[in-house]
Amino acid sequence: MADFEVPELKEYPVIPHLKEGVMAHSKPFIAKEQFQEQLGFPGELVDDWEQIAIDKMGELKGKYRSLQVFLDSCVKCGACTDKCHYYLGTTDPKNMPVARQDLFRQVYRRYYTLAGKYFPKLVGAKDMTREVLDDWYSYFHQCSQCRRCSVYCPYGIDTAEISMAAREVMDAVGVGQKYCNEIIGKVFKIGNNLGLPEPALADTLEGLEEEVYEDTGVKVLFPLDVKGADILLVTPSADFFAEPHVDGLIGYGKVFHEAGASWTISSHASEAANFGMFIGSYENMRNVSLRIREAALDLGVKRIVFGECGHAWRVAYSFLNTLAGPFDFLDPDYPIPQHICEYTYDLIQKGKLKLDKSENDHMVLTFHDSCNVARASRMGDKPGGQFEIPRAIIKAACNNFHDMPDWGIKEGTYCCGGGGGLLTDDLMEIRVKGALPRMEGLKQVVEEYGVTHMAAICAICKSQFAKVLPYYGFTMDQIVSVHQLVSQAIVLTPGEDEGETNDEPAAGSEDAAES
Amino acid sequence: MTFLTVVYALLFYFAFAVLVGGVGYRIWLYARTPSPLKIPTTPAPVTRSGVALRMLKEVTIFESLFKSNKWIWLFGWMFHAALFVILLRHFRYFQDPVWSWVSLVQPFGKYAAFAMLAGLGGLWARRVLVDRVKYISAPSDHLMLALLLAIGASGASMTFVSHTDIVGVKAFFLGLMRFDWQVIPTQPLLLLHITLVALLMIIFPFSKLLHAPGVFFSPTRNQVDNPREKRHVADWALKLEADRSK
C-alpha cells in the first residue's frame, strides 16, 4: 500500500529514540510561477534571496510580538520535545517543536542577536544558506500548526507562529508550497478551494434537496444566494460533495429546517477554509475573509454561521472580526460568527429539536477534538465550551459514546496529521506517520469499548482520516461528521403537503415512514 | 582604596547598567511590537483578571510545565524557587537596617542553596542523558548551567565551608549604592562568586534568560479570549483598512 513503513500501533504514544534525517526527503511540490504571482509572491527563487529572507525575517519580527518573544524566550528545557505527533510518528529529531523552531531561530540568532553575530558556534547560530532553506522547506511542511506544543511550553511558545513566519519568508523569496497557494488562488477566482463554480454549486445543492426528499419525504431546502435570508452559512467546500462531509451538510440543512430558519449559502463565499493562515500571510488571509463580509453585505443577512471545519473556525472565531470586521451590520444578539455546533446545541437546549437517538444505535462513537478548534478557538461563552458542546450534541444524538484516553483529547488532542496545508498526496508519508498517536488513542477505545466510529468537526480531519485509517487497519468509513449523527437522529417536521399527506413515501426510504 | 576595589566597583556599575539597560530595551521592544491577531492557547480566560490568574500560575507554580514533564518541572521549579529565596536572603547585603522579613528568610535561604544545586544538577543531567534534550542543546546551554552551578557552589561554600567577611561585603555594596566606595574583601571564593554574578548580569539580556521578561509578553498566555466580543486590530493592519470602503 505504501512505499514507506507504517508505524506500529502501541498501547499509548511511546517516545522514540532519535533517528536523524529520516524525514529530510519529505517535501511538498513547489508552487509554479503563475500560482505564486497571483498571491503577490515572486514566481521562483529570486537572486539575492538570502538577503531578502533575512530582511523579511526582520520585518516579521517587527510585526508580530509572538515571533519576537518566542525567538528570544526558549530555554531548551525539552518540555515540548515529545509533544509533536510528527516526531512521535517519524522519530526525526527536527520534528521536535524546539528543533523545528531552531531551524528558524538559528538564522535569527546569526543576523539579529549580538551573541549569534560574534559567537555563532556557541549559541548555535547559522548563516542563511541553501542547506538551511532546504531544511525549512522540508520541516516547516511537516508542521500542521496544531499548537499542541504551545500548550506544554512553560512560555507558551507556539511553533505554529514560527512555521507560519518561515513559510511567509519562503513565499517572499519565491519558494512557495503548491497545494496551499493554488488553493488560495482558486478562492480568489472562483470562491472556494475546490474551484466549484456557481452553476455546479447550484446543481449540487438541488441534488441534495432531492436526495433528502427521497429519503425522508420532507422538503429540506439547501438555498443558494438568497437575498434577504437571515443566516449565511459558510462551510468548507468539501461539504458539497465529499464523504462523510456532505452528510454533515445535510445535517445542517435539517437543523435549519427544524428551526424554521431562513438561511442561504453564498456562491461568492462558498468556502469556510482559509489557507491564508497556513502560509502565514495576513494579507491573503484577510482577502479570503473579506469575501465573507462582501457576501454577507450583498445578501443582507443578519447572522453568519460556520460549518464544520477546524482551522476555518479558528479564523472565523479568532480573526474574522479583526480581518474583516466590524460586523456592526449583523444582529448583535447572536455571536458573530457562530459555529453550527453552537447553533444546534442552542436548539437542543431549548428543546426545539426532536432527536431519536436509536437511529444511531448501530454505532459506538468517540470524538476527535480537532486541533484548531480545541487549542485555538472557543464555542459558547465559557472557556472549554469547544470541548463540551460537540460532545453534548453527540450525546444528544447517540446512545453510545466513549471518550478516547485523557492524554489525547481536549487541549491535549493530537492532530489528525493532515492539518496546516499538509493534506496533499505528495505528503502522504508524513500524514500517515503523523496520525500515529491519534490512531493509538482510537485503538484503545476500539478495544476497550467496542467503538466503531470516530466523529469529527473538521473537513481536513475527515478527509485525512478517510485516507489514513486504512493504513492502520481501520476502514475509511469509520470517520463521521458530528452533524451526520444529528442528521440521522433528527425527526423532521413535514411541511403541510408532505410527510403524513404522502401516502406513498419515496421509494427505497425507511426513514420516511416514520416522519 | 585598593586597585581591586576600583575594578570591582566599575565592574558592578557596568554589569548593573547592562542588565537594567539590556532587559529594559528588550521589554520596550516586546511592548512596542504589535500582536496583530488574537492567539491565546485555549481553553483561555475570557477576562483580564482570568489572564492575571493564569499568568500568576505560570510564573509561580509553572503550570504548563507541570502538565508537560514532571522531571523538568521538579528540577526547574526547585531551582527557581530556591534561587528566589536565596535572592531574598541576599537583600541583607544591600540594606541597612535590614527589614525584619529578610532576617526571617535567612535560614531558609541558607539551605535553599542545596535545592538550587540539586535542581541545576538534575537539569544538566537531563541535558546530557536524555537524547532529545542533548540534541537540542547548544554549548551555551551547558555553559549557562555551569555558570549558575558555579555561582551556587561558590556561594554555598562561603556559608558552609569557609566563611567570608560578610561585614566587609556588605560595606562594599552599600558603598557602591551610596557612591561612597568601601574596600572590597579579598577572599578568593567571594571574588569568584561576585565575578560570576557580574558575568551573569552582563550575559542576561543577550541570552535565553530573556525568558524571564518574555513569559509576560507571550501572546498565547497573556491575551484575553474575546475576539468575537471586541475587535482587535494592530496599527499596521489598520493601514490595510484604508483601501476598503465598507
Listed by number, the residues of chain B in 111-140 with a beta carbon closer than 8 Å to a beta carbon of chain A are 123, 126-127, 130-133, 135-140
Question: pLDDT below 50 — which residues of chain B?
Answer: 246
Residue A35: pLDDT above 90? yes
Q: Full-prediction pTM beyond 0.90?
A: yes
The x, y and z cell numbers of residue A461, run together, are 480531519
* Res A507: pLDDT: 44
Pairs of CB atoms within 8 A across A/B: 218
Listed by number, the residues of chain A in 216-245 with a beta carbon closer than 8 Å to a beta carbon of chain B are none
Answer whether A64's CB lies under 8 Å from A71's CB.
no
Closest Cα of chain B to A422: distance in Å?
21
Residue ranges of the alpha helices (H) in chain B? 3-32, 48-61, 63-68, 70-90, 100-129, 131-136, 139-160, 166-177, 188-203, 211-217, 219-222, 235-241
- The gap between the terminal CA atoms of chain B, to the nearest Å, is 74
Confidence of residue A513 (pLDDT cuts 50, 70, 90): very low
Q: What is the ipTM of this complex?
A: 0.96
Closest Cα of chain A to B99: distance in Å?
33
* Res A503: pLDDT: 45
* Res B113: pLDDT: 97
The Cα–Cα gap between A443 and B38 comes to 35
Question: How big is chain B, counted in residues?
Answer: 246
Q: How far is CA B9 from the centre of its chain?
A: 23
- pLDDT tens for each residue of A376-396: 999 999 999 999 999 999 999
Closest Cα of chain B to A338: distance in Å?
9
Confidence of residue A289 (pLDDT cuts 50, 70, 90): very high
Task: Kindly determine whether residue A76 and residue B41, on different chains, have CB atoms separated by under 8 Å.
Answer: no
Distances (CA, A) of B145 to A176, A297, B56, B148, B200: 40, 59, 26, 5, 11
Q: In B, which residues are within 8 Å of A73 by CB distance?
A: 208, 210-211, 214-215, 218
Q: In B, which residues are within 8 Å of A72 by CB distance?
A: 26, 208, 210-211, 214
* Res A3: pLDDT: 84
The Cα–Cα gap between A66 and A70 comes to 6
Task: Kindly determine whether residue B33 and residue A61, on different chains, have CB atoms separated by under 8 Å.
Answer: yes
The Cα–Cα gap between A212 and B201 comes to 71
Distances (CA, A) of B46 to A305, A331, A382: 22, 22, 7
* Chain A interface includes B21 (CB < 8 A): no
Confidence of residue A495 (pLDDT cuts 50, 70, 90): confident
* Res A499: pLDDT: 61
Answer whether A38's CB lies under 8 Å from A185's CB.
yes
Distances (CA, A) of A269 to A185, A274, A297: 14, 11, 11
Residue A147: pLDDT above 70? yes
* Nearest residue of A to residue B219, measured between CA atoms: A66
* Res A217: pLDDT: 95
- Sequence-distant (≥ 6) Cβ neighbours of residue A41 within 8 angstroms: A171, A172, A174, A176, A181
Q: In B, which residues are within 8 Å of A325 by CB distance?
A: 231
Confidence of residue A496 (pLDDT cuts 50, 70, 90): confident
- Residue reference for cell 450583498: A298
Count of Cβ atoms closer than 10 Å to residue A274 Cβ: 29
Identify the DSSP state of A501. G
Q: How far is CA B158 from the centre of its chain?
A: 22
Task: Kindly determine whether residue B36 and residue A387, on different chains, have CB atoms separated by under 8 Å.
Answer: no
Round the average pLDDT of chain A to a whole number and report it: 95
Confidence of residue A511 (pLDDT cuts 50, 70, 90): very low
The Cα–Cα gap between B200 and A10 comes to 46
Residue A50: pLDDT above 50? yes
- pLDDT tens for each residue of A206-216: 999 999 999 99
Closest Cα of chain A to B11: distance in Å?
20
Task: Kindly determine whether residue B136 and residue A321, on different chains, have CB atoms separated by under 8 Å.
Answer: no
- Sequence-distant (≥ 6) Cβ neighbours of residue B14 within 8 angstroms: B198, B202
Confidence of residue A47 (pLDDT cuts 50, 70, 90): very high
* Chain A interface includes B37 (CB < 8 A): yes
CA contacts within 13 A on the Cβ side of A330? 27
Q: Which of B131, B127, B211, B98 is nearest to A16 (CA)?
A: B131
Confidence of residue A497 (pLDDT cuts 50, 70, 90): confident
- pLDDT tens for each residue of A222-259: 999 999 999 999 999 999 989 999 999 999 999 999 99
* Chain A interface includes B233 (CB < 8 A): yes
Q: In B, which residues are within 8 Å of A115 by CB distance?
A: 140, 206-207
State mean pLDDT over A478-489.
Answer: 98
Q: Which of B123, B113, B114 is nearest to B76 (CA)?
A: B123
Residue A52: pLDDT above 60? yes
* Res B15: pLDDT: 98
Residue A37: pLDDT above 80? yes
* Res A5: pLDDT: 94
The shortest CB-CB distance from B36 to any of A154, A282, A336 is to A282
Q: In A, which residues are within 8 Å of B135 by CB distance?
A: 18, 93, 96, 99
Residue A506: pLDDT above 50? no
Identify the DSSP state of A315. I
Listed by number, the residues of chain A in 359-378 with a beta carbon closer than 8 Å to a beta carbon of chain B are 374-378
* Res B60: pLDDT: 98
* Res A502: pLDDT: 46
